[in-house]
Amino acid sequence: MPTRSKIIYTFTDEAPALATYSLLPIVEAFAASADIAVETSDISLAGRILANFADHLDADKRVEDSLAALAELTMQPDANIVKLPNISASVPQLKAAIAELQALGYNVPNYPEDPQTDAEKEIRARYGKVLGSAVNPVLREGNSDRRAPAAVKAYARKHPHSMGKWSKASQSHADYMRGGDFFSSEKSITMEKAGDVRLEFVGKDGQVQVKKQLSLLEGEVLDGMFMSCKKLRDFFEDTLQDCKETGVMWSLHVKATMMKISHPIVFGHAVSVYYKDVFDKYGKLFDELGVNPNNGISSVYDKIKSLPASQQEEILHDIHEVYSHRPEMAMVDSVKGITNLHIPSDVIVDASMPAMIRNSGQMWGKDGKQKDTKAVMPESTYARIYQEMINFCKTNGAFDPVTMGSVPNVGLMAQQAEEYGSHDKTFEMTADGTMRVVLADGTVLMQHEVEKGDIWRACQTKDAPIRDWVKLAVTRARQSNTPAIFWLDPERAHDRELQKKVEKYLKEHDLSGLDISIMGYNEAIRVSMERMIRGRDTISVTGNVLRDYLTDLFPIMELGTSAKMLSIVPLMAGGGMYETGAGGSAPKHVQQLIEENHLRWDSLGEFLALAVSLEETGIKTNNAKAKLLGKTLDAATGKLLDNNKSPSRKTGELDNRGSHFYLAMYWAQELAAQTEDLELQARFAPLAKTLTENEATIVAELNAAQGKPVDIGGYYRSNPELTSKVMRPSQTFNNALAALR
């Protein structure tokens, strides 16, 4: 017998956490048959708060720090983690969670908005570790392997999602800076040996201000680059004039959520250029009021509320006037009058651009109609790939989900590689001068002449993750017998450094029979698309940002969504993490459950991740039963998709729980039907029989529960017993599962 192995199933927040109450008992029951334990690890927002304030809690209320334990586990070769989506908490969410925990008797401190004392500052610092994207950077001790699972691809081919027709005469296009942006100023070096560097600003007066110190490893790649504020503003003005002349709608696409420091500033310039007349006229007043264009034009609406009504009206009138001489702007919500410049987080380039391309290259105008659009994406580094795809669609028409091939991704991500969004190395210049990167011995590694308002940033990429990434690319190319393209632009300083390493590390592998190449972004996406429309697959091997962009772009064309992608993080230490559900943790789903007892969350991502998790366990521990469980789970998922047993959005119809029942039934049927392992066959035949015979009863019991409000005893930390009762309402199903044990 193989040693008893363990799958860690993360317990997170909101809809995925609710679904876990229903799905986990099924998974545990099936996995036990291969002697695999499925354990949960609580990395929910509430759990993280409690773990960080254990010293404030009564002994019986304390919880272990699961995230820290999980981080440890990622360093172990036998790690096998199924990672569900969790809340990346904003301050309002954090405060709500604190209040809920306090009400439940957990003595956690309030969040100090404006900490004064050392104690308050200490508390604030602890909460800082809980805020935002606190989980992924800690757990992602590996690179990324994302692909469309065969069952999902087959489903999309059979039931193709809608694709807007493209006109050859479309005026839509991507527009980006042709100089003055990060791309054109990027410099990059590779550390010959480990060492400390200072990022420092030298003023015109010679004064040196150290912005940041970094300890770099041998072989680590460090980049420096900046975006010119002047050129950025000129660029925005040019795009607006161009739209005015051509009648094409104007739309801004940035990623203020990921590029936490740089993109809100870029967004703010867009706001203050578009509404230039208003910002010129009321500049002083706005400063006094604390208007911040980086928060969108909504900041003006918010802050002027304190003014007399007549003054408010005058400002609103002037804002309205702007629209008469500026081009039409794309709307986030034309009914409510919410434009792309309202708040910075509404339009996120990696989601908005695929949506536009899928929608005939059009976005929505203020009249609610689709229109050709200038997609303004100042930073040219990645924007060019969208222009390439737009040109491709103009020439070849919309992609066809029925015939198109796939573009899986192998992404460099481990140990925070290429984290351009990292706020700790991005700075908005407060004066003219020089930004430079200096070694401890005073050697200047690179420098840029900058002006006030310019955005300068550095970026680190360690050597070990690059080496692992190359290995993963070769492994995936071999396993899937698919050509792989490293997307490295010969005109980018950073990519030239990476290319040297890629060429070096490729030599460590047997490449015989593989088709592995290195191309600039335009060429890479073009070749991938040419292959794709001919039904051929091509692995994109990319850096971190392209990973993020492409794993939305191609899946949205191929599958209609990126949520159905298989997302694996083969950990560098040898273990594996299987991420699920790119769609977030879905607060609206919780609301529907509480009000109508219908959970529309689709656990497809969990099914897919579990299948790989089981298969990997089988391979690594030489456990044939585990491999068979994985294989049959995949088949069951295919059947589920094929028979359309995914959750409906409508209360009263099949929901998350019903889809779990069907998964269990199909899975049991697959195991009962196979003859590879007679023990498993014998074990699951009775369950298959029971579930098949009781299908109507169970579905009726599950659906009967719907339609009424339910109480689960909390939002951020619901009551386990109440929630379990709500999520497992079919006694017939529960009994059948219990009989398996």
Tell which positions 130-169 bind its own copies, by CB under 8 A: 167-169
Owner of token pair 């497809």: 604
CA distance 294 to 585: 26
The answer to whether the annotation marks 146 as part of a ligand binding site is: yes
The answer to whether the annotation marks 350 as part of a ligand binding site is: yes
State the nearest-atom distance from the C-beta of 578 to its own copies, in Å: 38
CA distance 104 to 562: 37
Tell which positions 166-185 bind its own copies, by CB under 8 A: 167-171, 173, 175
The answer to whether the annotation marks 203 as part of a ligand binding site is: no
Query: What character string, x for contact with its own copies (CB under 8 A) and - otherwise, covers 505-524?
Result: -----------------xx-
248 binds its own copies (CB under 8 A): yes
Which is closer to its own copies, CB of 439 or CB of 533? Answer: 533
Which is closer to its own copies, CB of 171 or CB of 370? Answer: 171
Which is closer to its own copies, CB of 175 or CB of 419? Answer: 175
Q: Name beta bridge partners: 200.
A: 210, 436
The answer to whether the annotation marks 584 as part of a ligand binding site is: yes
State the nearest-atom distance from the C-beta of 446 to its own copies, in Å: 24
The answer to whether the annotation marks 667 as part of a ligand binding site is: no
Position among 233, 526, 536, 620 found at the interface with its own copies (CB under 8 A): 526
The answer to whether the annotation marks 83 as part of a ligand binding site is: yes
The answer to whether the annotation marks 272 as part of a ligand binding site is: no
CA distance 541 to 528: 11
**Judging by DSSP bridges, how do beta strands 144-147 and 566-570 pair with one another?**
antiparallel
Q: How distant is the alpha carbon of residue 136 from its chain centre? A: 10
The answer to whether the annotation marks 157 as part of a ligand binding site is: no
The answer to whether the annotation marks 147 as part of a ligand binding site is: no
Position among 234, 242, 302, 400 found at the interface with its own copies (CB under 8 A): 242
Which is closer to its own copies, CB of 47 or CB of 378? Answer: 378
Residues near 92 by beta carbon (within 8 Å), at least 6 away in sequence: none
CA angle 268, 130, 574 (to 5 degrees): 105
State the nearest-atom distance from the C-beta of 266 to its own copies, in Å: 20
255 binds its own copies (CB under 8 A): no
CA distance 541 to 471: 11
200 binds its own copies (CB under 8 A): no
Q: What is the dihedral of CA 599, 45, 572, 516, to 10 degrees?
A: 50
Tell which positions 351-410 bind its own copies, by CB under 8 A: 372, 374, 387, 391, 394-395
Binding residues with its own copies: total (CB under 8 A): 23
Q: Of the candidates 674, 631, 579, which has an alpha carbon nearest to the alpha carbon of residue 150? A: 631
Which is closer to its own copies, CB of 90 or CB of 246? Answer: 246
Q: E strands, 107-207, where?
A: 144-147, 173-175, 187-190, 195-203
Q: Name beta bridge partners: 338.
A: 333
- Residue type (1 letter), 28: E
Token duo for residue 740: 């398996």
Residues near 23 by beta carbon (within 8 Å), at least 6 away in sequence: 603, 606, 660
CA distance 522 to 461: 23
State the nearest-atom distance from the C-beta of 371 to its own copies, in Å: 12
Q: What is the DSSP letter of 663?
A: H
Which is closer to its own copies, CB of 340 or CB of 373? Answer: 373
State the nearest-atom distance from the C-beta of 297 to its own copies, in Å: 25
State the nearest-atom distance from the C-beta of 159 to its own copies, in Å: 25
Q: E strands, 575-650, where?
A: 576-579
Q: Of the candidates 467, 381, 378, 454, which has an alpha carbon nearest to the alpha carbon of residue 417? A: 467
State the nearest-atom distance from the C-beta of 665 to its own copies, in Å: 45
The answer to whether the annotation marks 593 as part of a ligand binding site is: no
The phi and psi torsions of 431 (rounded to 5 degrees) equal: -160, 165
Q: What is the 3-state secondary structure (H, E, C) of 245-284?
A: HHCCEEEECECCCCCCCHHHHHHHHHHHHHCHHHHHHHHH
CA distance 529 to 525: 6
User: How many residues are there in the chain?
Assistant: 741
The answer to whether the annotation marks 4 as part of a ligand binding site is: no
Tell which positions 50-69 bind its own copies, by CB under 8 A: none
Q: For residue 588, how many other CB atoms are within 10 A of its CB?
A: 10
State the nearest-atom distance from the C-beta of 403 to its own copies, in Å: 14
The answer to whether the annotation marks 400 as part of a ligand binding site is: no
Which is closer to its own copies, CB of 239 or CB of 426? Answer: 239
- Residue type (1 letter), 358: R
The answer to whether the annotation marks 384 as part of a ligand binding site is: no
State the nearest-atom distance from the C-beta of 364 to its own copies, in Å: 18
Which is closer to its own copies, CB of 141 or CB of 372? Answer: 372
State the nearest-atom distance from the C-beta of 243 to its own copies, in Å: 8
Helices (H) and strands (E) in the chain, counts: 27, 24
State the nearest-atom distance from the C-beta of 681 to its own copies, in Å: 49
Question: Is the separation of the CB atoms in 364 and 330 below 8 Å?
Answer: yes
- Residue type (1 letter), 330: A
The answer to whether the annotation marks 515 as part of a ligand binding site is: no
The phi and psi torsions of 216 (rounded to 5 degrees) equal: -105, 150
The answer to whether the annotation marks 618 as part of a ligand binding site is: no
Which is closer to its own copies, CB of 133 or CB of 167? Answer: 167
The answer to whether the annotation marks 137 as part of a ligand binding site is: yes
- Residue type (1 letter), 714: G
State the nearest-atom distance from the C-beta of 253 to its own copies, in Å: 15
CA distance 399 to 164: 9
State the nearest-atom distance from the C-beta of 386 to its own copies, in Å: 11
Q: 675 exposed, middle or buried (CB, 10 Å; 0-12, 13-18, 19+)?
A: exposed
Which is closer to its own copies, CB of 95 or CB of 394? Answer: 394
Which is closer to its own copies, CB of 168 or CB of 708? Answer: 168
CA distance 273 to 294: 12
Which is closer to its own copies, CB of 334 or CB of 522? Answer: 522
The answer to whether the annotation marks 87 as part of a ligand binding site is: yes
Name the segment binding its own copies (CB under 8 A); options: 96-104, 108-116, 238-246, 604-612: 238-246
Residues near 103 by beta carbon (within 8 Å), at least 6 away in sequence: none
3-state secondary structure of 419: coil
Which is closer to its own copies, CB of 360 or CB of 551? Answer: 360
CA distance 164 to 397: 9
Q: Exposure string (b/e) for 303-332, b if CB count within 10 Å is 16 or more?
A: bbeeeeeeeeeebeeebeeeeeebbbbbbb
State the nearest-atom distance from the C-beta of 269 to its own copies, in Å: 20
Which is closer to its own copies, CB of 180 or CB of 560? Answer: 180
State the nearest-atom distance from the C-beta of 233 to its own copies, in Å: 19
Q: What is the DSSP letter of 390?
A: H
3-state secondary structure of 558: helix
Which is closer to its own copies, CB of 32 or CB of 533? Answer: 533
The answer to whether the annotation marks 133 as part of a ligand binding site is: yes
Q: 450 exposed, middle or buried (CB, 10 Å; 0-12, 13-18, 19+)?
A: buried
Owner of token pair 């609206």: 588
The answer to whether the annotation marks 570 as part of a ligand binding site is: no
Rule CB under 8 A: which residues touch its own copies? 167-171, 173, 175, 242-243, 245-248, 372, 374, 387, 391, 394-395, 522-523, 526, 530
Indicate the annotated binding residues for D-threo-isocitrate. Answer: 146, 547
Indicate the annotated binding residues. Answer: 83-88, 133-140, 146, 350, 547-548, 552, 584-585, 589, 600-602, 649
Indicate the annotated binding residues for NADP(+). Answer: 83-88, 136, 584-585, 589, 600-602, 649
Indicate the annotated binding residues for Mg(2+). Answer: 350, 548, 552
Indicate the annotated binding residues for substrate. Answer: 133-140
